[in-house]
Amino acid sequence: MNHQHYYVPEQSHWPIVAAFALFFLAAGTAHTIIHGQPLLLIIGLGAIAYLFVGWFGEVIRENQAGLLDNDQVDRSFRLGMGWFIFSEVMFFAAFFGALFYIRHFSVPWLAGEGAKGISHMLWPAFEASWPVMSPPDSARFPGPEETVDPWHLPFINTLLLVSSSITLTIAHHALKKGHRAVVIAWMFVTVALGVSFLVVQGYEYHEAYTQMGLTLHAGVYGATFFILTGFHGMHVTLGTIILIVMLSRILRGHFSARRHFGFEASAWYWHFVDVVWLGLFIFVYVL
């Protein structure tokens, strides 16, 4: 194993394309927000799409050519994906941490409880509750009229996402045994479950905005609700796209029973998204 040569790729134009694409995406988003002109952002999104197809396509071609069939290269990919997911965990940890801090420290203090209850003098009429239904300054931040019932749509979503993790694992086991037809079938189910999750969440957001008054402006409960569920939803969207790509690669016969790290990485990502959802379901919806 140690005598294999490590694959150091040739020069590549993709990194600089990626740097341009990310620049347009970042500056374009800011420009759209401030000036309302989405041209730069559209260029950025187009460049990102071109980049993903191009760069990942090249890696897939290298893989098909056997250049990456090397245990050491494989370990690098595993380490890379694993630590990327760790950084994602920390990203969500920031928002969960904010939620805990607001719930257990700042909202009670604002209502006069605890060590720093002196801040109650700002809005003497404010009373602590979670969810915060009437924020201190209700004129600027009208609180929500009601909040999402965890045992309806969110519970359905929990079932959908947990079963998708199971179906994905079934597909993975089938892939290891080389049962192609089984893999394809269960991958279809997984993707369908992911898409259904997104549809249900879209419906839930629609109801929140139109019927419950639960919006980004609805004070701190709405703010924490949407940042946690929203970023999670974006991750599910990305994960679903990744799974669709994996499915199309399986349909082209890309993965072998022995080496299919692209598939495994997607599965890791999907399970991570699933675990985050369980955290959300408990701490954002139920408790």
Partner 1 sequence: MDVASEHSTDHDAHHGPAKGFTRWVYTTNHKDIGTMYLWLAFAMFLIGGSMAMVIRAELFQPGLQLVQPGFFNQMTTMHGLIMVFGAVMPAFVGLANWLIPMMIGAPDMALPRMNNLSFWILPFAFGLLLLTLFMDGGGPNFGWTFYAPLSTQYAPPSVTFFIFSIHLMGLSSIMGAINVIATIINMRAPGMTLMKMPLFVWTWLITAFLLLAAMPVLAGVVTMMLMDINFGTSYFSAAGGGDPVLFQHLFWFFGHPEVYIMILPAFGIISHIVPAFSRKRLFGYSSMVYATASIAILSFMVWAHHMFTVGLPLAGELFFMYATMMIAVPTGVKVFNWISTMFRGSLTLETPMLFAIAFIVLFTIGGFSGLMLAISPADFQYQDTYFVVAHFHYVLVPGAIFSIIAAAYFWLPKWCGRMYDEKLGKIHFWWSFVGLNLTFFPMHFVGLAGMPRRIPDYALQFADFNMISSIGAFIFGTAQLFFLYIVVKCILTGEKAPACPWEGAEGLEWTLPSPAPYHSFTVPPKFED
- Per CB under 8 A, contacts with partner 1 among 75-114 are 75-76, 79-80, 83-84, 86-88, 90-91, 93-95, 97-98, 101-102, 105-107, 109-110, 114
Backbone angles phi, psi at 39, to 5 degrees: -55, -50
Residue in this structure with the two tokens 């290891």, named with its chain if needed: 176
By beta-carbon proximity to partner 1, the closer residue of 186 and 221 is 221
**Which residue from 156, 227, 244, 275 is in contact with partner 1, where contact means CB under 8 A?**
227
Angle at 106 (CA atoms; ends 100, 109), nearest 5 degrees: 135
Q: How far is the CB of 10 from partner 1 (least distance, A)?
A: 7
Q: By CB under 8 A, is residue 69 in contact with partner 1?
A: yes
Q: Are 246 and 266 in contact (CB under 8 A)?
A: yes
Q: Which stretch binds partner 1 (CB under 8 A): 70-78, 154-162, 171-179, 204-212?
A: 70-78
Distance of closest approach, residue 230 Cβ to partner 1, in angstroms: 9
Size of the site for partner 1 (CB under 8 A): 78
> 107 Cβ partners below 8 Å, 6+ apart?
128, 130, 132, 220
Q: Does 132 bind partner 1 (CB under 8 A)?
A: yes
Interaction residues for partner 1, span 250-269 (CB under 8 A):
none
Q: Is position 216 an interface residue for partner 1 (rule: CB under 8 A)?
A: yes
* Footprint (CB under 8 A) of partner 1, residues 39-58: 55
Closer residue to partner 1, CB minimum distance, 135 or 194: 135
The answer to whether residues 281 and 158 touch, using CB atoms and an 8 Å cutoff, is yes
Task: Judge contact between 144 and 221, C-beta under 8 A.
Answer: yes
37 scored as a contact of partner 1 (CB under 8 A)? no
Residue from the set 40, 135, 246, 267 that interacts with partner 1 by CB under 8 A? 135
Least distance from C-beta 49 to partner 1, angstroms?
17
Q: What's the rounded Cα separation, in Å, for the pair 78 and 86? A: 12
Comparison of 108 and 194: residue with beta carbon closer to partner 1: 108
Select from 46, 54, 57, 66 the one that contacts partner 1 (CB under 8 A): 66
Q: Which part of the chain contacts partner 1 (CB under 8 A), choosing from 3-11, 145-153, 163-171, 241-249? A: 3-11
| Least Cβ distance, residue 93 to partner 1 (angstroms) | 7
> What is the number of other CB atoms lying within 10 angstroms of the CB of residue 263?
24
